[in-house]
Amino acid sequence: MLDIKFIRENKEKVKENIQKKFQDEKLPLVDEVIDLDKKIRELKAEGDALRQERNNTSNEIGMLMKEKKISEAEEKKNRVSEINSKLVDIEKEEADLAALLQEKMMVIPQIIDDSVPIGKDDHENVEIERFGDPIVPDYEIPYHADICEAFGGLDKDAAGRTSGNGFYYLMGDIARLHSAMLSYARDFMIDKGFTYCVPPFMIRSDVVTGVMSFKEMENMMYKIEGEDLYLIGTSEHSMIGRFKGQIVKEEELPITLTSYSPCFRKEVGAHGIEERGLYRVHQFEKQEMVVLCKPEEAMDWYNKLWSYTVEFFRSLDVPVRTLECCSGDLADLKVKSCDVEAWSPRQQKYFEVGSCSTLGDAQARRLGIKAKGENGNYLLSTLNNTVVASPRGMIAVIENNYQEDGSILIPKVLQPYMGGKTAIKSK
């Protein structure tokens, strides 16, 4: 959410930003917000003037009563009553308009960084750099679900009976590989100096609307019936929510956290839920990075964060590339974002395994997260990035380490988490 003062002083820039995101239907919101803000300020000024008059009149009543001028005092009392009645109406109108203003401002997108490429959707995202050589072996690599099933490691039929489409059972060495990746990701980030955290897996609605846009919320979040609680779609939600309404000491910055959580997503939209495989499911587990820092340090941290994900996957012998998200592919709260994509030798193309974003002060403004500096309080910048989400990240490891004899080589960094095993082989 933008600062209303910024919108007042930069109306054309805000409109230009909306056009860059191909959301022209939101253009009228800018003028509507400015008009509402003007009315609210006028009402506030009128209310302040009436309150001052009421204070002065109250003082006059005291003087008149001392002088036994009862009739004049009663007239003044009547005026105070009129003022009080008028203030009730003004304060209600001001509150109603403020709520409407907030609602409209929440829909106006954050100003994107100048470096963001302009494009309508993810088809116009721009490749930045490749890391590792994408290899296609001279033998066939089966579909990842078939590989997992060959080891007795995947049962989607049973999950369909218990939970429906989009769920799964992982078993045996495949389940162990899944857990090994998450444990390694945890230690990988701890070694980078991040503090490990396990957050709540449910959050209240005021936290949900503080960390994401309404459209994202509708397409992603599962609501707990009869409760003001939502299942998290990523631990970023509850990790940022932890600082809601807090003033952080400047000397504690930057705050660098890495969090584990299960994640739950409705996956409403064009992609849908995958019938057989594990690319797009309702439930998965993830190791996340979250940073709160000074605004001037945000871009440096952004570049550090995505590089950690690249380093993580390269340590698993997985070739990756980075992809700059274009303006139309950015969620409304994001200033800049890039995806890390892993090589699929079976499909002979890359697929997303991580996403890094800097959100400027959007989340901090919505949630009231500030730092106390020498020159007063200021809003913090927030960033988040995926270390690994599994089972999707596991698919990349399985495909890139699949052998002609049907076995899967276990990357060296994961072997300690697999009891020293060097490969997964058919029983």
User: Mind listing the pLDDT tens digit for each residue in 341-378?
Assistant: 999 999 999 999 999 999 999 999 999 999 999 889 99
Lowest mean pLDDT among 68-82, 191-205, 321-335: 68-82
Write out pLDDT tens, residues 261-274: 999 999 755 555 66
Whether residue 256 is predicted with pLDDT greater than 90 in this model: the reply is: yes
Whether residue 101 is predicted with pLDDT greater than 60 in this model: the reply is: yes
Instruction: Report, at the CATH architecture level, how domain 122-424 is classified.
Output: 2-Layer Sandwich (3.30)
Instruction: Check residue 62 and give its pLDDT.
Output: 84
Lowest mean pLDDT among 214-218, 246-250, 384-388: 214-218
Lowest mean pLDDT among 35-44, 45-54, 66-75, 256-265: 66-75
Instruction: Check residue 76 and give its pLDDT.
Output: 87
Handedness of CA 217, 218, 224, 225 (dihedral sign): positive
| C-alpha–C-alpha distance, residues 172 and 397, integer Å | 16
What is the percentage of the chain residues whose pLDDT exceeds 90? 87
* pLDDT, mean of residues 88-100: 96
Whether residue 73 is predicted with pLDDT greater than 90 in this model: the reply is: no
- Residue 11's pLDDT band, with cuts at 50, 70 and 90, is very high
Whether residue 86 is predicted with pLDDT greater than 60 in this model: the reply is: yes
Write out pLDDT tens, residues 117-158: 999 999 999 999 999 999 999 999 999 999 999 999 999 999
Neighbours of 203 (CB within 10 A): 23
| C-alpha–C-alpha distance, residues 238 and 203, integer Å | 6
Q: Among residues 183, 397, 395, which one has the least CA distance to residue 278?
A: 395
Instruction: Check residue 217 and give its pLDDT.
Output: 78
- Residue 68's pLDDT band, with cuts at 50, 70 and 90, is confident
Whether residue 69 is predicted with pLDDT greater than 90 in this model: the reply is: no
| C-alpha–C-alpha distance, residues 413 and 417, integer Å | 8
Instruction: Check residue 274 and give its pLDDT.
Output: 64
Lowest mean pLDDT among 93-97, 147-151, 275-279, 297-301: 275-279
Q: Which residue has the higher pLDDT, 215 or 363?
A: 363
| DSSP character string of 343-354 | EETTTTEEEEEE
Whether residue 164 is predicted with pLDDT greater than 70 in this model: the reply is: yes
Write out pLDDT tens, residues 22-42: 999 999 999 999 999 999 999
- Please count the CA atoms within 13 angstroms of the CA of 205 that sit on its side-chain side: 8
Lowest mean pLDDT among 72-76, 130-134, 283-287: 72-76
> Where exactly are the structural domains of the chain?
4-105, 122-424
Write out pLDDT tens, residues 293-338: 999 999 999 999 999 999 999 999 999 999 999 999 999 999 999 9
Handedness of CA 4, 221, 188, 240 (dihedral sign): positive
What is the percentage of the chain residues whose pLDDT exceeds 70? 98
Lowest mean pLDDT among 5-9, 112-116, 212-216: 212-216
Average pLDDT, the chain: 94
Instruction: Check residue 271 and give its pLDDT.
Output: 58
> Where are any strands of DSSP class E within 36-174?
126-131, 154-155, 169-170
CATH of 4-105, one of 3.50.70.10, 3.40.50.800, 2.60.40.10, 1.10.287.40: 1.10.287.40
Whether residue 21 is predicted with pLDDT greater than 70 in this model: the reply is: yes
Lowest mean pLDDT among 204-213, 283-292, 381-390: 204-213
Whether residue 58 is predicted with pLDDT greater than 80 in this model: the reply is: yes
200 SS3 class: coil
